[in-house]
Amino acid sequence: MGLRDYVIIRVLLTIPLVLILLSVVFLLIRVLPGNPCLLKFEHNLDPQDLATCERSLGLSKPLYVQFAEYFVGLFRGNLGLSMVDFQPVSAQIVSRFPATIELTLYAFLIAVVVGIVLGSLGATKRGSVTDGAVKVIGILLYSWPVFFLGLIFQLIFGVYLHWLPTSGRLCPGCQVPQGLTIGSVHIQTGLYTVDSVLAGNLSAFVDSVSHLILPATALGLVISGVFIRITRTNMLETLRADYVTAARARGLKGRTVVYGYALRNALLPVVTVMGLQFALLLSGAVLTETEFNIDGLGRFLVDRVNYLDYTAIQGAVVFIAILIATVALLIDILYAYLDPRVRL
Amino acid sequence: MKKSDRFSVAGRLFAPLVGKGSGRGFMLAGLAMVVFVVAMSVLAPFLGTQNPTYLGTKVDSPPSPQHPLGTDIGARDMLARVVWGGRFLLVVAVLAVIFCMAVGIPLGLLSAYRGGMVDRVVTLVLDSIYAFPSLIFALIIVIVFGTSVFVYALAIAVVYVPSYFRVVRSQTLTVKELPYVDAARSSGAGHLAIIRKYIWPNIIPSVVTVATINFADAILITAGLDFIGVGDLTRPDWGVDLYYGRSTVLSGAWWVIAFSGLMILVTTLGFSLISEGYAERTNPKLR
């Protein structure tokens, strides 16, 4: 099977994943007590208005019709109207998403770098004090509640040392970086660190980075526990492989063998596990965004949960499901590209 | 240990606890932490602390002789809250692990043993849940069904059943093709006998590893949900302490978050250490 066929099959396989999650959440949310129309008009509503409100939100139709309509809308990028402010949910999600991407991206980078460096260090010094320390650090980071680490960071670097801001994405009242306009094309990613560079705005760049350091480091360190462990285990196995012994026997330098031969092959399985860590990152983002007042997808979800905003919760879940499926897909394809045996 | 014990279920389960070797230190350290937290939580009513929900008058006061660990935003005694705050989390974790095992293990065995359409459908559904961020799934379940102990346990069970399922299924698939299982089958052993005598003992080490991690994650998820404020905020609970501490930490009230946060960490770390040690002792590749 060629790479192209493999990609097509993998794409088709992600559809049931999204569909299953959508159905579960759709049904689950319909169990929720409370009627958003009653909630909106604070219970003193004449029946006529109530019926109009329910009709406009599609609540009066049978459940399977609601489901079918939702599913059809999904393909057009329509996630329905929010039951709180009656604005399109998809637009709200799109406006909140860049903050989450920015946080998780930097956190992921930190996690991967810390994980690979410490993991391979432990494996090459197997059985030594260093290795023991790496193992303990890995377990400690994995067990550390991300919100507790975040609070400690806020206390030390924000309250005591006054080094870094503890809330939001930019200084209060500061203007959002506008990105770059070339002719009629306007490039604005919503990632403040990127937009400020595009706009050539150094102070906004420094500001957005300083706001990101604490949340991204807290989240990244907690996730790195998993990477340390996986890198170490895979590296141990690879270092025992025949070709590594052969390379050593031929007199190659220790560093060349470890980093040129073993690490590259040990990282292959790590790539597959990255996809699953993305889910962990998103869970962590919900906590980190709440803690650091970052207006991302996670905080959006928590806010809307408090208002019983069915459509917004459902929209966020569907969006996350599609996101997860896409990331899993990309990682699978990357893996198939790196390791042709997978395609067999 | 008697020789025959090595082949019994109890023997498999407890063998890694005895004898020297790598991973033992991790296991013992983890067990000590877990025993400490469990003992403190069980004995909480007899330790003579103040009432952890009593609203006093000294709001946010730092540690003092009267309140050794200070008070929180509601002037509640932090020492009392630290002592009482693990009870809910531990009960949720224990229930969640029981729910998970009761559903995940049989499902994994059945799915792998039967194969075919059943296996495909179950795997697809559980893989979908497995791929989804667990905290978000649990959040939605808690929002829909409320904040009781059972709902929390159920929410964690839903997101964690796939982990048991995957481990049990893949182990069963491997073991069921082994020659000695074939031999047992050809000499007339029934399905149940094969599962009980040949497959089950091979699954135990993996299930124990998943269960210990499940304990740690159950605590993390429950405390996380309390931290974002969807739980019952009147409950003495380490996660709730951190929820309140979030608003006062910026004015320097470190004592509200420090002790409760450390207790969560000690609990999850204890279970993770047990898991790591157990895995190391049963899986030589990790050493």
pLDDT, tens digit, 9 for 90 and up, residues A245-255: 888 888 888 78
| Reported confidence tier of residue A5, pLDDT bands at 50, 70, 90 | confident
Arithmetic mean of pLDDT over chain B: 85
Q: How far is CA B61 from CA B28, B76, B245, in A?
A: 37, 10, 13
| Selected residue with higher pLDDT from B31 and A1 | B31
Is a pLDDT exceeding 50 seen at residue B1?
A: no
For A179, left (φ over 0), alpha (ψ -120 to 50), or beta? left
B266–chain A Cβ distance below 8 A for any pair: no
CB pairs under 8 A between A and B: 138
| Closest to B145 (Cα-Cα) out of B224, B225, B90, B240 | B225
- Chain B CB contacts of A321 under 8 Å are 132
Nearest Cα residue in chain A from B223: A145
Compare CB distances from B257 to A151, A279, A317 and report the shortest one's residue: A151
| Reported confidence tier of residue B157, pLDDT bands at 50, 70, 90 | very high
A191–chain B Cβ distance below 8 A for any pair: no
- Would you say A111 and A220 are in contact if contact means Cβ atoms under 8 Å apart? yes
Coil, strand or helix: which one is A211? helix
* Each residue's pLDDT tens digit, B15-32: 666 666 677 888 899 999
Which DSSP letter does residue A168 get? S
| Reported confidence tier of residue B4, pLDDT bands at 50, 70, 90 | very low
Write the burial class of residue B250 (CB in 10 Å: 0-12 exposed, 13-18 middle, 19+ buried): middle
| Reported confidence tier of residue B3, pLDDT bands at 50, 70, 90 | very low
Compare CB distances from B124 to A16, A280, A290 and report the shortest one's residue: A16
| Selected residue with higher pLDDT from A34 and A259 | A259
Give the number of C-alpha atoms closer than 13 A to the C-alpha of residue B16, restricted to the C-beta side. Answer: 26
Task: Please state which of the ranges A218-227, B14-23, B249-258 shows the lowest mean pLDDT.
Answer: B14-23
- Chain B CB contacts of A20 under 8 Å are 124-125, 128
A236–chain B Cβ distance below 8 A for any pair: yes
What is the token pair recorded at A56? 């406009």
pTM for the model? 0.88
A158–chain B Cβ distance below 8 A for any pair: yes
- Would you say A338 and A271 are in contact if contact means Cβ atoms under 8 Å apart? yes
Compare CB distances from A286 to B135, B246, B264 and report the shortest one's residue: B135
String of DSSP letters for A93-158: HHHHHHHHHHHHHHHHHHHHHHHHHHHHHHHHTTTSHHHHHHHHHHHHHHHS-HHHHHHHHIIIII
B261–chain A Cβ distance below 8 A for any pair: yes
Instruction: Report the range out of A15-19, A103-107, A237-241 with the highest average pLDDT.
Output: A103-107
- Chain B CB contacts of A233 under 8 Å are 285-286
> Which run of H or E residues covers position A185?
strand A185-187
- Chain B CB contacts of A142 under 8 Å are 272
A20–chain B Cβ distance below 8 A for any pair: yes
- Chain B CB contacts of A146 under 8 Å are 224
Chain-chain contact of B246 with A139 (C-beta, under 8 angstroms): no
| Reported confidence tier of residue B14, pLDDT bands at 50, 70, 90 | low
* Each residue's pLDDT tens digit, A152-185: 999 999 888 989 888 888 888 888 888 788 878 8
Chain B segment 18-47 residues within 8 A of A by beta carbon are 26
Q: How far apart are CA A153 and CA A115, in angstroms?
A: 20
* Each residue's pLDDT tens digit, A16-28: 777 887 887 777 7
- Chain B CB contacts of A276 under 8 Å are 131
Chain-chain contact of B133 with A320 (C-beta, under 8 angstroms): yes
Chain-chain contact of A145 with B265 (C-beta, under 8 angstroms): yes
**N-to-C CA span, chain B:** 24
Compare CB distances from B228 to A166, A233, A287 and report the shortest one's residue: A287
Q: Mean of the pLDDT values across residues B267-275?
A: 94
Quickly list H helices, A190-309.
192-198, 202-239, 242-249, 254-255, 263-291, 297-306
What is the token pair recorded at B63? 């540690």
Chain-chain contact of B144 with A31 (C-beta, under 8 angstroms): yes
Q: Rg of chain A's alpha carbons, rounded to an integer?
A: 24
Which DSSP letter does residue A88 get? B
Give the distance from CA A280 to its chain's centroid.
7
B214–chain A Cβ distance below 8 A for any pair: no
Compare CB distances from A20 to B124, B143, B216 and report the shortest one's residue: B124
Q: How far apart are CA A37 and CA A309, in angstroms?
A: 10
| Reported confidence tier of residue B2, pLDDT bands at 50, 70, 90 | very low
> Which run of H or E residues covers position A181?
strand A180-182
> ∠ CA(B157), CA(A216), CA(A145), 5° rounding?
35
Which of A283, A297, A302 is most worth mutating to test chain B (most B CB atoms within 10 A of its CB)?
A: A283
Nearest Cα residue in chain A from B215: A143
Chain B segment 100-139 residues within 8 A of A by beta carbon are 124-125, 127-129, 131-136, 139
- Would you say A282 and B136 are in contact if contact means Cβ atoms under 8 Å apart? yes
